[in-house]
Amino acid sequence: MEVQTAKILIVEDNSAVRELMAVLLRRSGYQVFEAADGLQGLEQIGSLQPDIVIVDLGLPKLGGDELIARIKADPRTVAIPAIVNTAFPAHDAAVKRAIAAGAAEVLFKPTELKLLLAAVSRHVLRPHSFLRDSRAA
């Protein structure tokens, strides 16, 4: 049985932040895909079926909290963990909405890269991707 590398989708409108996360995650052995706004992210989630999504909340076209709500409302994507990576303060309404919608974890910018890696590994190691793959077979 061939072991597949986990697929991670980063949905972040700041290209410098997105690229830094992508380089870090690729060097850590993950397949990384990128989206610059919420609608682009939603389209890629449907086509890629990533193992995890890292979402900024202050996204153009579709906010990160709404993106997470749509991921969790769709039976095809409900099991995909969404990690929020935001500059919004913890008491911000968008952070609260993202948590209520089903965000797996919230990280606050500036994000320590070791915390990002730890969060990703916590959620990628969960068996959701194996369950999803077995249903598709």
Q: Which domains does the chain have, with CATH numbers?
A: 7-136 (3.40.50.2300)
CA dist 17 and 48 (Å) reads: 22
pTM: 0.87
Write out pLDDT tens, residues 92-125: 999 999 999 999 999 999 999 999 999 999 998 6
Q: How far is it, in rounded angstroms, from Cα 36 to Cα 52?
A: 16
Residues in the chain: 137
* pLDDT per position as a tens digit, 28-86: 999 999 999 999 999 999 999 999 999 999 999 999 999 999 999 999 999 999 999 99
34-45 pLDDT, tens digit per residue, is 999 999 999 999
